[in-house]
Structure 1
Amino acid sequence: VVVINKVDRKDAEPSRVLNQTFDLFIELGATDEQADFPVVYAQATSAQASLTPDLGPDLQPLFQTILRHIPAPRVDADAPLQMLITTLGYDDYRGVTAVGRIFAGKIKAGQPLARLKLDGTNVPERARYLYVHHGLQKVEVAEASAGEIIALAGLEGIAIGETLADPENPVALPTIHVEEPTVRMTFGVNTSPFSGREGKWSTSQKLRERLFDELRTNVSLRVQETETADTFLVSGRGELHLAILVETMRREGYEFQISRPEVILRQAEDGTTLEPFESVHIETSPDTVGVVVELLGGRRGQMLEMQDTSDGNVRLVYLTPTRGLLGFRYHFLTATRGMGVMHSLFHGYEEMAGAIASRNTGSLVSWETGVSSTYGLKNAEERGTLFYGPGVEVYTGMVVGEYTRPSDLTINVCKKKHLTNVRSSRCDMEIRLTPPRQMSLDEAIEYLADDELLEVTPLSYRIRKRILDMDERGKLTKKAKEALMED
């Protein structure tokens, strides 16, 4: 059964989506029976469905289609137990919960089990607590049988893809492969002068506990300790995966700092360096296609498809290195004036595409700690784009704007013009500043350079230099240039 959702949108194209879905089935080698699928049109948020693009009053057409076309599970409740773990959860009272479908047999609370791990070893376990879902409620039960999807609590260390079986007849089911991470960044204790002001938890111990707790349910995440006790290397399935973790922790009251994301490289058997690639699907207006093509071309993207849509837009499909997509979304939205639509899907590891130019603008960096003034910001505005308005606390080494040139510029945004009381107030009123650029978390992460960090608190995002002191940054830059000249 194919369900086409969100058909109530003004730009919805259900017929095009249906054709694309059919093409996908053919590409995947579907049989004639599989390709002859029933179609239901829906708007899930309002609980409406229909067999035509005109929505009905409820979801009954969907339920009836499921009952009519999807056969009951082929199970044997009298066979030895086989249950495949497909996802993990966590309960504050019961610990880790393993969720999966019972393919054969029955299971009772308290009965002994054989846990068949991914490496083939057999570990004895016991099913302490069983749960099933009734609607949105999780209900504890004493027994479940083949065909049901249940949750088991009390199994520490269990992983997705493992099988729970009868100890007397332990037969493993085909495992589920979880893709390895492709992007990583560092999470560290906030070391800025404003550390501890806005967050509930800001110590390395709390940060460590939270990151390792995430591993219980976020199976594609990896956390490694580094040489320093206050910094952790976190790897995930793309920039968005890590950004979701950052935002979740921020809302929970954590305060920390993160680095610019970087891709995880691999080595082939012949020594070739491989990097992750993504399939990028873009829809934009004809007048912005040229700019988008130029942007992706500069990021080593390979155009696979280009076609017109029925609503007058152009659809592009690219194969692009993940490395080239880091920081791309902001430039894409700017180039398409916010009207472009883009999504990507992991393709695989391919030979490294070559050098990709980094951000071609520098940063405006605060020279001193204090409160930003209208007069100081006016001087900064003449050299780039501001991130803050007047009356905002800043500190030395904090990025307050984007410089128009490739290098960084240290500037005093707290500077005041010393005048008499009367002239001072009139002078400030006469100065007009362009509204500052307000960045979301995704935009802030995309903006980061290699020598910058993003300070994340429940109330603020602040971009800063890794080395706050201007003189220390200058010495480091000089040493790097000298080393480059020697090479």
Structure 2
Amino acid sequence: MKNLVRNFCIIAHVDHGKSTLADRMLQLTGTISDRDMTEQVLDTMDLEREKGVTIKASAVRMNFNAEDGKAYEFNLIDTPGHVDFNYEVSRALEACEGAVLVVDAAQGIEAQTLANLYLALEANLVIIPVINKIDLPSAQTEEVSEDIHNLLGTPKDQIIQISAKQGTNIQQVLQAIVDFIPPPKGDDEAPLEALIFDSHYDSYKGVVAYVRVFNGSIRRDDQILMMSTKVKTSPVEIGIFAPNMTPVKNLSSGEVGYIATGLKTVSECRVGDTITFANNGVEEPLPGYKHAKPMVFAGVYPTDGEDYADLRDALEKLQLNDASLEYQPETSEALNFGFRVGFLGLFHMEIIQERLEREYDMDVVFTAPSVEYEIKLNNGEMITISSPAQLPDENEIDQILEPWMDLTIFTPTDYYGVVEKLVKLEILVNGESVDALTAIVHKDDAYHKGQALVSRLKELIPRQLFTIPIQAYAQGRVISRANVKALRKDVLSKCYGGDITRKKKLLEKQKKGKRRMKMVGNVEIPQEAFMAILRLDQTK
């Protein structure tokens, strides 16, 4: 039976057609009827269909009748292609023996093609190269075939040319999966070893873990253990994806499916954990699993302070579906209580923002994104910061270390850039620094960004009865300034003709009142002002 199982994933650069290829496979194997067929079947989130990008890994079981007359069981895992979701790809690869590498015939090999390919090779997967979109007028099939041959060493006659949109040569891809990808290994009689490669939260079934069983088998009446958290539970339901969740009696070694754990606390079921039996289970978890490290950090605050608890619950549930999301509480003088949230990249951050607004009906403010910096102080101490508000005073800093990638870039000498220097750009409103509007920028950009932000804030901050100065401050000096003009109350309206000294006294009294108001008055900054800093590059 195990010899008839094939576990594989589809990897590609974003928009090269992997979700469309998955659709054709589901159609050709009869997993989904023509009546139920929609574009991007495995992209179940509205955001995935809108943006044309797979965000979450998803699994599905298919049955394929091969040329040898045998019925094979395929477990397909559709993976994301955008660079921000590399972690989703690495999880999916752990559960497979092979990968279908899709390359666009018009675009050729691109950045994520290589990144995902290297991840697959590190996981020792068998690679089946496929050239998609051969029906396009701009298709360069021969050139792309040559590039793949040079990259992988695959003979050109083994590189399958398809059109996923029109369904051309999809049968060849399915047959190649049977011929080239090995069946899974594993011992049904051994203690249970199952890897959680994804999960989601269900209101009725609790945490639903997507698993690949490496050894042993699991039934609904077994008591299981999450090895990293030491939590014990009995499954509420065990099943497969066909493509919807379909209950089965048991999952055995080599199979991909789900375990509804019944757990209500999301932190008890971690993605990447190993599931085994509570009694007589394995001693060591499955090796080689890496945890994703956030690269971009931003403050997330509810517009209404009373929604803080709801925001915490929403982030906790999102973290179950997205193990790469990290957060911790923080406070801001301007925005009160919120969270410092770590993301894989700016696109990942945009997705989380939209999911908070759509799925959890949260009205939130995101502050300017930044990366993690290491700061060497004058006393030799090293500290790590992820928020501009945490940056020490300039006099205390010996060195600022910015994250760098170890890359080789080939470029003409005309395009060599200068060495970049980082400075702290502060925004002062009425003489007070607003931490949520503080950013770390490159020295050459400080003036332009400061000027753009000051101009934008001048438009957004409501006028008061006193003049409000807005200043951009960097490297110990004010680099840009604008004033929000004061509203003027006509104190002379009740005066008629007569003594001019009476009018002068009233005007002098108004001046003194405005000076006193300016000293003690707080300026309320609207939400639009905090979003303005995120759009600096567009206003530059």
What band does the TM-score fall into relative to the shorter chain?
0.5 to 0.7
Equivalent residue for 1:189? 302
Equivalent-residue separation in structure 2 for 1:210 and 1:103 (angstroms): 33
Paired AA for residue 52 in structure 1: Q
Cα pair 1:367 1:411 within 8 Å, conserved = no
Cα pair 2:239 2:247 within 8 Å, conserved = yes
Cα pair 2:188 2:253 within 8 Å, conserved = yes
Equivalent residue for 2:358? 251
Equivalent residue for 2:311? 207
Equivalent residue for 1:177? 290
Q: Are 2:132 and 1:42 equivalent residues in the alignment?
A: yes
Equivalent residue for 2:274? 163
Cα pair 2:461 2:525 within 8 Å, conserved = no
Equivalent-residue separation in structure 2 for 1:94 and 1:23 (angstroms): 33
Pairwise CA distance, 1:465: 8.4
Equivalent residue for 1:217? 321
Q: Are 2:130 and 1:57 equivalent residues in the alignment?
A: no
Equivalent-residue separation in structure 2 for 1:265 and 1:41 (angstroms): 41
Residues 32-70 of structure 1 deviation map (CA, whole Å, 9 limit, x = unaligned): x96xx54222359x9xx9822667634222211111110
Residues 383-411 of structure 1 deviation map (CA, whole Å, 9 limit, x = unaligned): xxxxxxxxxxxxx9999xxxxx9624346
Q: Are 2:434 and 1:366 equivalent residues in the alignment?
A: no
Equivalent-residue separation in structure 2 for 1:248 and 1:25 (angstroms): 30
| Equivalent of 2:218 in 103, 107, 115 | 107
Equivalent residue for 2:187? 76
Pairwise CA distance, 1:103: 0.4
Structure with greater proportional helix content: 2
Pairwise CA distance, 1:110: 2.5
Equivalent-residue separation in structure 2 for 1:239 and 1:254 (angstroms): 19
Equivalent residue for 2:403? 276
Cα pair 2:201 2:317 within 8 Å, conserved = no
Equivalent-residue separation in structure 1 for 2:345 and 2:374 (angstroms): 16
Cα pair 1:160 1:176 within 8 Å, conserved = no
Equivalent-residue separation in structure 2 for 1:152 and 1:26 (angstroms): 27
Equivalent-residue separation in structure 1 for 2:173 and 2:216 (angstroms): 30
SS in 2 for 1:277: coil
| Equivalent of 2:345 in 238, 246, 266 | 238
Pairwise CA distance, 1:208: 2.7
Equivalent-residue separation in structure 1 for 2:276 and 2:185 (angstroms): 18
Cα pair 1:86 1:99 within 8 Å, conserved = yes
| Equivalent of 1:409 in 466, 479, 482 | 482
Pairwise CA distance, 1:93: 1.7
| Equivalent of 1:265 in 350, 366, 373 | 373
**Runs of 5+ in structure 2 lacking a partner?**
1-7, 21-102, 142-158, 383-398, 424-440, 472-477, 488-523, 535-540
Name the stretch that deviates more: 249-258 or 70-79. 249-258
SS in 2 for 1:79: coil
Paired AA for residue 130 in structure 2: V
* Closer/same/farther in 2, CA of residues 28 and 170 from structure 1, 3 Å limit: closer
Cα pair 2:329 2:340 within 8 Å, conserved = yes
Paired AA for residue 372 in structure 2: I
Equivalent-residue separation in structure 2 for 1:177 and 1:92 (angstroms): 29
Cα pair 1:103 1:147 within 8 Å, conserved = yes
Equivalent-residue separation in structure 2 for 1:453 and 1:277 (angstroms): 35
SS in 2 for 1:64: helix
- Taking structure 1 as the reference length, what is the TM-score of the superposition? 0.52
Equivalent-residue separation in structure 1 for 2:375 and 2:366 (angstroms): 27
Cα pair 2:198 2:211 within 8 Å, conserved = yes
* Closer/same/farther in 2, CA of residues 407 and 57 from structure 1, 3 Å limit: same
Paired AA for residue 409 in structure 1: A
Equivalent-residue separation in structure 2 for 1:188 and 1:29 (angstroms): 39
Cα pair 2:196 2:274 within 8 Å, conserved = yes
Pairwise CA distance, 1:216: 2.0
Residues 364-391 of structure 1 deviation map (CA, whole Å, 9 limit, x = unaligned): 2127649xxxxxxxxxxxxxxxxxxxxx
* Closer/same/farther in 2, CA of residues 28 and 234 from structure 1, 3 Å limit: same
Structure with greater Cα Rg: 2
Paired AA for residue 262 in structure 1: S
Cα pair 1:398 1:465 within 8 Å, conserved = no
Paired AA for residue 204 in structure 1: Y
Paired AA for residue 143 in structure 1: N
Paired AA for residue 261 in structure 1: P
SS in 1 for 2:403: strand
* Closer/same/farther in 2, CA of residues 28 and 275 from structure 1, 3 Å limit: farther
Cα pair 2:303 2:363 within 8 Å, conserved = yes
Pairwise CA distance, 1:180: 2.2
Pairwise CA distance, 1:108: 0.4
After the TM superposition, which residues 137-148 of structure 1 pair with which residues of structure 2 at under 5 Å, given as runs?
137-148=244-255
Cα pair 1:453 1:465 within 8 Å, conserved = no
Equivalent-residue separation in structure 1 for 2:301 and 2:329 (angstroms): 10
Paired AA for residue 276 in structure 1: P
SS in 2 for 1:463: helix
Cα pair 2:199 2:271 within 8 Å, conserved = yes
**Runs of 5+ in structure 1 lacking a partner?**
192-200, 301-322, 325-353, 371-395, 400-404, 415-451, 467-487
Equivalent-residue separation in structure 1 for 2:319 and 2:129 (angstroms): 38
Cα pair 2:212 2:256 within 8 Å, conserved = yes
Cα pair 2:470 2:482 within 8 Å, conserved = no
Equivalent-residue separation in structure 2 for 1:140 and 1:464 (angstroms): 49
The number of residue pairs the alignment matches comes to 320
Cα pair 2:368 2:533 within 8 Å, conserved = no
